[in-house]
Chain A
């Protein structure tokens, strides 16, 4: 039988006025295992805490119940006091007789009776408490940033500038992400590469950032402070260490191919970089386009290379990186063209998406920044922009707003007018969403200064006629059917998670929403964290975001990482689930209830049983309730403890 001490606090008159504290102490003395009970005005005060400590020593107490205010107020105080007296802090329980008793009841007799019941329950519970140690998790103070777009780069720079090493993994051969494809940015109209290039250069030369370009994260194991990531480097067929970036290979490569980076409009080469300012400035061979890989002949690049860097035998290599935290910044892409039959996207060359229009505007684009339509290279005199192509369209499975399209479409209309002063831009829209600093003014400028004609309504069909495109739609404001003859149609296609996101989410064991965007830990209060401790989110991986929001969130994620790295070790709450292996049948029906994927398998002689990764477990107890025979046990809230509380409260 344990030796339990009960301490009933008066809290001045806060408790004592309504609850007969001496009566509660007297009643406690007759409870099983209680060897000491006393009252005091303020147990939270220093003399009060000393009384508890003295009683622990003198009465050799091994369990303590303090009947006082809510555990959210002083549980930590009393646990520390007990610890100072040599008692394991987890052998202290609080009976809340203030917030949930004396303050809410006025009948002294009833309040006292309830206080006795609450103390009885806690005495029963504490008896079944085990001494526990908060375990420590060492923190590997290195971070893995996945995605080298603007968000990933910002997070990497913030963390590296604070003095911690960063492993930055980018799927593409170069940094920059989506932003590298943009021409100008709203609402300032400064050129994207002018603000991006300094960032990419800074990342490249930062001594604490290890850039793994053309690489993908394949597997992640471990938990906060101690993740292991398996990272695969795709074969570039060029030895980047030897390569000096002269790009003779790209120049001389005889094989012209459509370039994904140029949205299929400009010619690319089977070997080369996406754009001249690419960082790292190292070429890759696109195997599917390369003549040598297709036919076994050519090798022009290998012959021309002055440093003999081309290596057709290069294979994928993998390496493991140990990190303490992970930032996911995998960004977005735009929805596939086959979704828009009615707009003729993918069918008529002059129906393009907005990223393609960015390329047409870009001085490093296929037209050197002159706006020419893909079919015949003519400068379009009338351009129709269709917003919400896919977005806000439950039928297309994208009920959400892609958020950035209203702004970039206004930008497109402006840029177009600046480059084609006699051109006319028409914009079909549902609503204009221009929330943001100087955003609404920007849209107004497009209308007032640059003559963009906004038509509120959906487009029903786009079809070709006499070398032009007929755009049929409805202007819902006038109620009229509208028909516009256009030279070019630009679709503001819905932003969707980048293609690698689902596989990555699986590897990270982090949840996504129904569209594949990563889930934040709390939509309002924890927007850069995931439910897995140590994994953070930045940028459009979470939902479509513009550049400034992505950067802000990236810095937020970096701050979270730095807070984590501010300690040598993490303290982990020992109130986590554990498995009684002799009872576990190994059915694993606990698993789907765990939001943290903390339940793992362990082999016994005759069967697999569940085991809980204490680094991942957050102590919610869903698994314990799902376990039919109580093999899964939540420390601090075990079945025995809760049943004992029920029994005591019903006395």
Chain B
């Protein structure tokens, strides 16, 4: 057990025992060691089962909405969780006095599928060491490059630590800068090829709405994409374009870049490529950089008197 894990357990135990929180959201045992699951500890015994290891992947913020407990909720927060919590606070879906944030610095989470592919066996534990990942399977421990083991979303992550927390498990790191090489790559292609690319992607969409359900910014009490006047139920390419256009636009300027949507997609549609396009253009056109604080005004809920006219500046090319 790592030092951070034991600190997490004792802190959560203390918070629960003292009644400071009624529930603590973190990670707990899943059906195999490489797949820990979100864990709602309700008592000190539950806290004793909390896990904190490189397999802890999912962004936890959205579980704050699923929590029905009346009292304050404690939550483990890495950078993505922290931004997700800020998102929910800014959208007024969660109130500050109901959440107790335990901050931790994250250097990326290991994707169990990638790890399985690399190691050729079910990974039992993992350790991050600089640019390398040490994976232990039943047959021993081997080293792999970071890029081939971590979740894609963690590879482009700019927020190792939350911006603030009520308690810290370790020293926070400052946010970095997010770059958008894949967006630029797609922009290099001509319109027809881009359309063909997205057609290939969207024609796979099952409209299962997993991307929406996983997103900390997509939590309307009633979603427009369930309203028949906006989108009838039919799964067709044009409806899928409508769905994905609307989903991406609705999180434009609000996306926290946690990548949960893409992670959740069973059809493996590169949804972050849509979110990143808005994020990049918002940075280029209006100077609002990711990660911007969700508490600040939304980029689309404000303006400057001398904003550029984005449609005149060479269209898709930056």
Contact = CB atoms under 8 A, between A and B. Distances in A.
B301 interface: yes
B7 interface: no
B229 A643 contact: yes
Contact of B224 (A584, A586, A629): A629
A174 to B, nearest CB: 39
Interface stretch (B118-126, B190-198, B214-222, B268-276): B214-222
A461 B91 CA distance: 53
A630 B300 contact: no
B301 A593 contact: yes
Contacts of A585: 91, 93, 219-222
Interface residues of B, number: 18
Contacts of B312: none
Contacts of A643: 229-230
B80 to A, nearest CB: 20
Interface string B222-247: 11100101100000000000000000
B285 to A, nearest CB: 18
Contacts of B18: none
A505 interface: no
Interface centre among B93, B221, B224 (most CB of A within 10 A): B221
A584 B221 contact: yes
A586 B93 CA distance: 8
Given A593-B301, A639-B230, A588 B92 contact: yes
B178 to A, nearest CB: 23
Interface string A610-632: 00000000000000001011110
Contacts of A586: 92-93
B222 A583 contact: yes
B91 A631 contact: no
Interface in A566-606: 582-589, 592-593
B302 interface: yes
A626 B221 contact: no
Nearest to B225: A629
Contacts, number: 51
A175 to B, nearest CB: 37
Given A585-B93, A639-B230, A640-B229, A629 B223 contact: yes
Interface residues of A, number: 20
Contacts of B297: 592
Given A628-B250, A629-B224, A643-B230, A592 B301 contact: yes
B230 A626 contact: no
A626 B301 contact: yes
Contact of A608 (B92, B227, B230, B302): B92
A582 B301 contact: no
A629 B302 contact: no
Contacts of A631: 220, 222
A630 B230 contact: yes
Contacts of B300: 626
Nearest to B298: A589
A40 to B, nearest CB: 35
B69 to A, nearest CB: 14
Contacts of B220: 583, 585, 587, 628-629, 631
A32 B7 CA distance: 69
B221 A583 contact: yes
Contacts of A589: 91, 298, 301
A606 to B, nearest CB: 9
Contacts of B227: 629-630
A639 B219 CA distance: 20
Contacts of B91: 585, 587, 589
Contacts of B221: 582-585, 607, 629
B92 A630 contact: no
Nearest to A586: B92
A523 to B, nearest CB: 13
B93 A587 contact: yes
A628 B253 CA distance: 13
Contacts of A629: 220-224, 227
Contacts of A628: 220, 224, 250
Contacts of A583: 220-222
Interface centre among B91, B93, B222, B297 (most CB of A within 10 A): B222
A612 B224 CA distance: 20
A131 to B, nearest CB: 20
A152 to B, nearest CB: 30
Contacts of A639: 229-230
Contacts of A584: 221
B230 A587 contact: no
A607 B88 CA distance: 14
Contacts of A587: 91-93, 220
Interface in B44-100: 91-93
A442 B306 CA distance: 40
A626 B249 CA distance: 11
B251 to A, nearest CB: 9
B101 to A, nearest CB: 20
A593 B298 CA distance: 11
A276 B302 CA distance: 51
A630 B221 CA distance: 11
Nearest to A581: B221
Contacts of B250: 628
B27 to A, nearest CB: 28
Interface in B100-118: none
A589 B91 CA distance: 8
A608 B93 CA distance: 10
A582 B220 CA distance: 11
Nearest to A644: B229
Contacts of B224: 628-630
Contacts of A630: 224, 227, 230
A630 B297 CA distance: 20
A588 B295 CA distance: 12
A582 B223 CA distance: 11
Nearest to B250: A628
Contacts of A592: 297-298, 301-302
A276 to B, nearest CB: 48
B227 to A, nearest CB: 6
Nearest to B300: A626
Nearest to A638: B229
Nearest to A591: B301
A629 B249 CA distance: 12
Contacts of A582: 221-222
Contacts of B223: 629
Contacts of A640: 229
A468 to B, nearest CB: 46
A45 B297 CA distance: 53
Nearest to A609: B221
Interface in A260-283: none
Contacts of B222: 582-583, 585, 629, 631
Interface in B198-226: 219-224
Nearest to B305: A514
Contacts of B219: 585
A603 B239 CA distance: 36
Interface in B288-318: 297-298, 300-302
A628 B252 CA distance: 11
A3 to B, nearest CB: 23
Interface of B: 91-93, 219-224, 227, 229-230, 250, 297-298, 300-302
Given A586-B93, A592-B302, A630-B230, 8 more contacts: A585-B219, A585-B220, A585-B222, A587-B92, A587-B220, A593-B301, A629-B224, A630-B227
24 contacts: A582-B221, A582-B222, A583-B220, A584-B221, A585-B91, A585-B93, A585-B221, A585-B222, A586-B92, A587-B91, A587-B92, A587-B93, A587-B220, A589-B91, A589-B298, A589-B301, A592-B298, A607-B221, A608-B92, A626-B301, A629-B222, A629-B224, A631-B220, A643-B230
9 shortest A-B CB distances, which residue pairs? A629-B220, A587-B91, A592-B301, A629-B224, A583-B222, A628-B250, A585-B221, A585-B220, A640-B229
